């Protein structure tokens, strides 16, 4: 079944009936709540009246002739926008009313700000003991750095990622997307789902979730951290190479690059056959993976000379014929034209009231019974303010007064 057909099959997901109050902005929180929305939750995005989420103004690029920021649209689908001035007491009262009936609150204001407003977990749980409250921040809610400002670039540096990314003798390089934000957003989604599950299995009460960008980056060090713990030597930058597998990297060809992965003895023999260099199998310097790692420089020199005699297309055809894992280095256009990516529903579109047809990356969460889906365009600023407030019991007269007073 194609991704497009699956998208059309259902209007709900496994989180149908779950209400998420999203008091986050920019990337880490919106990425988290977008995933919850893709899974069927009703996500109510709280935005500042007049300006909204900062990323609404992050352009170019925009879609077509509209003023809709491509950045904002990328992480805010499946949400309803409610403008609300949390700097006003009336605005905070409205937030408390909504939080009293919500299942989840997500916030990424600076540490302590929600407490200053009386919108912290301890306060909100008094009216709603079942509330799951997720606080996102750069450094977390305790520790000596809890009040420091944090941005993805800083987190990639401070969390170790830039120390292992880039060429061996080159400058440190950041990963090309805001991976610290996205990683923390993924951890937040996991933790929220776990807290909701525990609430259902337990006594019905919720709990607080504390997620930091720095913790997420440190956790992602995974086997690189283990290499350090085992040797007391911090791993360094190796470009596309792998510290314990060879060959496992990008090699230049006559007209580009080919990335090849040879992590097993059988694949080594097959790889050598594919490039007509069976002699390398019997070379003691390359007898097994450990030997190839020890003699990496010699092996790289041999393989670079071999690869440069081929075009990228020729090498990919050979490796495909022999079953060797390999790829060219695709750009973003190549990725979204890839038949496999399209077959998996990873290129989706939604009709937006001002931007027209908006293409976006689909959800990678494929569930057989209650699939994730894109049901709603990224909202216009305040598009659902009246609708949401009516649902929570506010009269048209109260809503009009809120509007006159700048509360919404």
Domains of the chain with bracketed CATH: 3-220+336-405 (3.40.50.10540), 248-252+257-328 (3.30.1540.10)
Q: pLDDT tens digit string along 205-225?
A: 999 999 999 999 999 999 999
> Mean pLDDT, the chain, as a whole number?
94
Q: pLDDT tens digit string along 317-357?
A: 999 999 999 999 999 999 999 999 999 999 999 999 999 99
Q: Please determine, for residue 9, whether its predicted confidence score (pLDDT) is greater than 90.
A: no
Tokens representing residue 92 in the block: 């905070």
Which residue in the block uniquely carries the two structure tokens 């009386």? 118
Q: Please determine, for residue 149, whether its predicted confidence score (pLDDT) is greater than 50.
A: yes
pLDDT value, residue 103: 98
* Gap between the Cα atoms of 22 and 38, Å rounded: 14
Strands 248-252 and 19-23: unpaired
Tokens representing residue 199 in the block: 């609430």
Q: Please determine, for residue 56, whether its predicted confidence score (pLDDT) is greater than 70.
A: yes
Q: What are phi and psi of 211, to 5 degrees?
A: -120, 130
* Whether the Cβ atoms of residue 107 and residue 131 lie closer than 8 Å to each other: no
Mean pLDDT of the 359-376 span? 94
pLDDT value, residue 162: 96
- Dihedral of CA 396/402/407/408: which sign? positive
Collapsed DSSP state (helix, strand, coil) of residue 384: coil
Share of the chain above pLDDT 70, in %: 97
Task: Of 327, 163, 154, give the one whose Cα is nearest residue 238.
Answer: 163
Q: Please determine, for residue 375, whether its predicted confidence score (pLDDT) is greater than 70.
A: yes
Mean pLDDT of the 82-100 span? 97
Q: Please determine, for residue 294, whether its predicted confidence score (pLDDT) is greater than 90.
A: yes
Tokens representing residue 235 in the block: 């791993």
User: For residue 288, what pLDDT band results from cuts at 50, 70 and 90?
Assistant: very high
pLDDT value, residue 64: 82
State the Cα torsion 16-22-28-30 to the nearest 10°.
Answer: 60
Q: Is-catalytic flag, 181?
A: yes
User: For residue 6, what pLDDT band results from cuts at 50, 70 and 90?
Assistant: very low
pLDDT value, residue 12: 80
Q: pLDDT tens digit string along 170-199?
A: 999 999 999 999 999 999 999 999 999 999
User: For residue 110, what pLDDT band results from cuts at 50, 70 and 90?
Assistant: very high
* Whether the Cβ atoms of residue 110 and residue 137 lie closer than 8 Å to each other: yes
In our burial notation (b when 16+ CB lie closer than 10 A, e otherwise), range 213-229 reads bbbbbbebbeebeebee
| Cis ω before 300 (30° cut-off from 0) | no
Q: Which of 85, 120, 181, 215 is catalytic?
A: 181
pLDDT value, residue 11: 65
Share of the chain above pLDDT 90, in %: 95
Collapsed DSSP state (helix, strand, coil) of residue 247: coil
| Helical residues (DSSP H) of 353-395, grouped into ranges | 385-391
What angle is formed at CA 146 by the lines to CA 37 and CA 194, rounded to 5 degrees? Answer: 35
């Amino acid at each position: 079944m194609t991704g497009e057909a699956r998208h059309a099959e259902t209007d709900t997901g496994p989180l149908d009936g779950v209400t998420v109050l999203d008091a986050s902005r920019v990337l880490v929180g919106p990425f988290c709540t977008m995933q919850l929305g893709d899974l069927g939750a009703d996500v109510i995005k709280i935005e500042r009246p007049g300006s909204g989420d900062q990323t609404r103004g992050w352009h170019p690029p925009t879609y077509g002739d509209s003023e809709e920021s491509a950045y904002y649209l990328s992480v805010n689908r499946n949400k309803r926008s409610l403008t609300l001035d949390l700097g006003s007491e009336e605005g905070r009262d409205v937030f408390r009313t909504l939080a009293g009936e919500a299942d989840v609150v997500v916030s990424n204001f600076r540490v302590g700000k929600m407490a200053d407003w009386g919108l912290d977990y301890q306060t909100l749980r008094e009216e709603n003991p079942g509330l799951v409250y997720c606080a996102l921040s750069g450094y977390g809610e305790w520790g000596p750095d809890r009040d420091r400002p944090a941005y993805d670039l800083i987190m990639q540096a401070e969390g170790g990622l830039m120390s292992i990314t880039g060429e061996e003798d080159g400058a440190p390089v950041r990963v090309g997307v805001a991976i610290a934000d996205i990683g923390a957003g993924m951890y937040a989604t996991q933790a929220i789902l776990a807290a909701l599950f525990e609430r259902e299995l337990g006594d019905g009460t919720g709990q607080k979730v504390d997620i930091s960008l720095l913790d997420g980056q440190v956790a992602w060090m995974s086997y690189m951290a283990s290499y350090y713990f085992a040797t007391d030597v911090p791993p360094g930058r190796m470009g596309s190479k792998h510290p314990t597998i060879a060959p496992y990297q990008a090699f230049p060809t006559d007209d580009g690059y080919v990335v090849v992965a040879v992590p097993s003895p059988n694949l080594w023999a097959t790889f050598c056959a594919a490039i007509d260099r069976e002699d390398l199998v019997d070379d003691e310097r390359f007898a097994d993976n450990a030997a190839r790692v020890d003699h990496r420089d010699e092996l790289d020199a041999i393989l670079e000379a071999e690869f440069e005699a081929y075009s990228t297309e020729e090498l990919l055809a050979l490796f495909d014929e022999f079953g060797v894992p390999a790829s060219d280095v695709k750009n973003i256009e190549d990725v979204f034209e890839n038949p496999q990516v399209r077959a998996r529903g990873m290129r989706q579109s939604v009709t937006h009231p001002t931007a027209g047809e908006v293409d976006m990356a689909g959800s990678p969460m494929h569930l057989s019974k209650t699939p994730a889906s894109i049901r709603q365009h990224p909202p216009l600023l305040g598009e659902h303010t009246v609708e949401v407030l009516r649902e929570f019991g506010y009269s048209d007269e109260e809503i009009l007064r809120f509007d006159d007073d700048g509360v919404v």
